[in-house]
């Protein structure tokens, strides 16, 4: 989408003239509501066509405008959590002309990105990290003697993550750190937990702090008795406030607290931010916003419009996520020990039906993956069968808990690893390319990568029926089945070498070139075989652990051949690297090439297939045929 065409079509004269926060400050107060509407028009038009996070950004239009009118980016540091609510910030900080490239290869990121703009102080692709980073910025400014402010915009869903509370515990009153709580009662799914339920009870106004400041200044000028009077008045105020209103969580931690206020009224937000700025110390500004504000479909169903696919993409009714949810629900129908746990991703992981059918055995712990895993280990140790459904990239956050609380104790916990592999639209922060490597390094863990829905059901059913269960990870990609892969598994010529290992040739007719792979990248191997005149065979794995046994099973099929490993995962510690080393130790007759994601983060800098960017596509495979 050409931004100039959009500008002409949408008629956005005010936004057209804003290329920096300085331009925004020149806009008159009367024009601000019209500017906010123009921003919404661009968001709705651009995101509904090209995909992205819509509801969350519609809700923070006024908030973002007010922040940039009150503070001075990049001298003042502005950090968004989660970063998918930063689109308005991007429009106001010189990236308006590139907005049509949002979340595309070579385009601007859907999250703050330090290498993209000096106005993106910190990358926040994952939730609940911002306050720890913001505290670091504020402490650094204090050490420098700088008067800069750090503004952390926290979606209230971020408070379901433990890191926020750990950072709050370390904040110092004297820091120029301002926490803007954007309360819309949603992260992706509905927020859960005690903090979310009690947040709405807090209240204080900027007028209160203005009056308080004036009183303090008056008494400070009275010799001898001024400060004791201030201390006495503060003590009396605290007692009366506790009596009538109860305690304020943030004030007890030393913050000045403002709010809650209407976060979709730009003038009110400005007043609150200016009052907080004037305090020159740690403050909390609590705003209530409407997720999806100004676009009726998104207001009615904010979860549906949280993340949109591009308008021309094919919607898949049946995905691995939805199939997993169906299978787990049916298993739970028959076994009352089965529980489901997710981390603020009920819809994304396909567990809506499970919650509806078995609400007492469904747990959404919020954005707290570490807690989810250890909580599951407790359920398991006390006789239940928990399944933890989390995206691959977020499961990284619970690595220690998997090792210490589950694997070390050999507790039967099922990890359902969603969105495994490369996820181009969300970019490097959301690529699920590390899970196989880190699970392979952990003793006592069984790892599976089902190729089809049928296989997913078989692996899940097999886990729950196994009398000698051990910690198990089942990983699967975003979206649905691939027809090429399904045909491969159902082909009469496909030979089962071992449980979860298949070849499209037998040991009597071994081809010269053998591609070894698993998961979605199998489709690239199938294409490569179809488009070459060389002698090629494929071995596809669904079972990725017990590598010594797997090696013994495939050795008769590969002795002396040209082997190409192809893997949609990081090279170091990968399945390919581990299996290739075992093959070499036993045989040393083969020519072995490993095509995996190089030890770096995959940044898609061009409009092309993500497999091409990572050099694990069919062409890259074919280059190694002999």
**Residue 279 is a catalytic residue:** no
Q: Peptide bond before 99: cis, by omega within 30 degrees of 0?
A: no
Tell me the C-alpha distance between 175 and 142, whole Å: 7
Secondary structure of 383-441 as H, E, C letters: CCEEEEEEEHHHHHHHHHHHHHHHHCCCCCCEEEEECCECCCCCCHHHCECCHHHHHHC
Catalytic choice (361, 397, 425, 520)? 397
Contact 138, 255 (CB under 8 A): no
End-to-end Cα separation, the chain, in angstroms: 43
- Starting at the edge strand found earlier in the chain, the sheet holding 362-364 runs 362-364, 338-342, 385-391, 414-418, 472-475, 446-448
**Residue 291 is a catalytic residue:** yes
Q: How many CA atoms lie within 13 A of 471 on its CB side?
A: 25
- Non-local CB neighbours of 538 within 8 Å, separated by 6+ positions: 488, 503, 504, 514, 515, 516, 517, 522, 525, 526, 529
The DSSP line for 274-315 is HHHHHHTS-EEEEEE--TTTT-HHHHH-TTTTTSB--TTSPP
Q: How many CA atoms lie within 13 A of 35 on its CB side?
A: 28
Tell me the C-alpha distance between 186 and 82, whole Å: 12
Tell me the C-alpha distance between 359 and 344, whole Å: 15
Catalytic choice (69, 288, 291, 355)? 291
Q: For 113-263, where are the alpha helices, taking DSSP H only?
A: 130-144, 162-168, 194-198, 206-220, 226-244, 249-252
| 40 CB neighbour count, 10 Å cutoff | 18
Helix (H) or strand (E) holding 37: helix 32-50
- Non-local CB neighbours of 145 within 8 Å, separated by 6+ positions: none
Tell me the C-alpha distance between 302 and 298, whole Å: 5
**Residue 397 is a catalytic residue:** yes
Tell me the C-alpha distance between 429 and 120, whole Å: 15
Length of the chain: 626
Catalytic choice (183, 369, 524, 568)? 369
Contact 52, 298 (CB under 8 A): no
Q: Which positions are catalytic? A: 291, 369, 397
């Amino acid at each position: 989408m050409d931004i100039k065409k959009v500008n002409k079509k949408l008629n956005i004269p005010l936004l057209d003239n804003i290329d920096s926060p300085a331009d925004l400050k020149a806009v008159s107060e009367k024009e601000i509501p019209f500017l906010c509407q123009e921003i919404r028009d661009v968001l709705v038009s651009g995101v509904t066509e090209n995909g992205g996070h819509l509801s969350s950004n519609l809700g923070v239009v006024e908030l973002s405008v007010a922040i940039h009118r009150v503070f001075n980016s990049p001298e003042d540091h502005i950090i968004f959590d989660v970063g998918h609510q930063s689109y308005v910030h991007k429009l106001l900080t010189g990236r308006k002309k590139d907005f049509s490239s949002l979340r595309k290869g070579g385009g601007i990121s859907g999250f703050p990105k330090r290498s993209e703009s000096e106005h993106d102080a910190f990358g926040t692709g994952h939730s609940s990290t911002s306050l720890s980073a913001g505290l670091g910025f504020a402490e650094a400014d204090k050490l420098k003697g700088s008067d800069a402010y750090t503004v952390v915009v926290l979606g209230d869903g971020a408070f379901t993550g433990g890191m926020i509370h750990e950072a709050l515990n370390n904040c110092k009153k004297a820091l120029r750190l301002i926490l803007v709580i954007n309360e819309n009662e949603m992260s992706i799914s509905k927020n859960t937990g005690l903090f979310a339920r009690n947040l709405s009870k807090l209240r204080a106004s900027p007028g209160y702090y203005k009056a308080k400041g004036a009183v303090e200044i008056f008494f400070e000028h009275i010799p001898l008795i001024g400060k004791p009077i201030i201390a006495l008045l503060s003590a009396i105020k605290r007692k009366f406030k506790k009596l009538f209103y109860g305690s304020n969580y943030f004030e007890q931690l030393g913050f000045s607290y403002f709010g809650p206020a209407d976060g979709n009224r730009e003038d009110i937000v400005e007043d609150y931010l200016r009052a907080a700025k004037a305090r020159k110390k740690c403050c909390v500004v609590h705003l209530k916003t409407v997720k999806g504000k100004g676009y009726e479909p998104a207001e009615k169903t904010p979860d549906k419009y949280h993340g949109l696919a591009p308008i021309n993409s094919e919607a898949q009714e049946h995905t691995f996520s939805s199939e997993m949810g169906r299978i787990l629900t049916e298993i739970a129908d028959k076994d009352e020990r089965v529980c489901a746990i997710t981390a603020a991703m009920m819809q994304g992981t396909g567990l809506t039906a499970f919650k509806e059918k078995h609400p007492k055995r469904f747990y959404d712990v919020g954005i707290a993956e570490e807690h989810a895993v250890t909580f599951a280990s407790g359920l398991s140790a006390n006789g239940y069968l928990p399944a933890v459904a989390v995206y691959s990239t977020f499961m990284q956050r619970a690595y220690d808990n998997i090792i210490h609380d589950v694997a070390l104790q050999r507790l039967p916990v099922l990890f359902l690893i969603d969105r495994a592999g490369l996820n181009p639209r969300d970019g490097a922060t959301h690529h699920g390319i590390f899970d196989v490597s880190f699970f392979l390094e952990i003793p006592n863990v069984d790892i599976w990568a089902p190729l089809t829905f049928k296989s997913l059901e078989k692996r899940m059913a097999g886990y729950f029926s196994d009398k000698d269960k051990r910690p198990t990870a089942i990983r699967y990609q975003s979206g649905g089945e691939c027809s090429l892969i399904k045909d491969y598994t159902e082909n009469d010529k496909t030979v089962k070498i071992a449980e979860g290992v298949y070849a499209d040739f037998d040991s009597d007719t071994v081809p010269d070139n053998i591609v070894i792979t698993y998961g979605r990248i199998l489709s690239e191997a199938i294409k490569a075989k179809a488009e070459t005149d060389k002698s090629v065979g494929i071995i596809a794995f669904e079972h990725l652990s017990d590598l010594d046994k797997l090696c013994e099973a495939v050795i008769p099929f590969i002795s002396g051949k040209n082997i190409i490993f192809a893997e949609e995962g990081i090279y170091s510690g990968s399945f390919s690297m581990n299996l290739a080393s075992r093959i070499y130790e036993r045989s040393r007759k083969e020519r072995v090439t490993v095509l995996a994601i190089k030890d770096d983060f995959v940044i898609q800098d061009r409009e092309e297939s993500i497999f091409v960017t990572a050099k694990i596509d069919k062409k890259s495979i074919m280059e190694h045929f002999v």
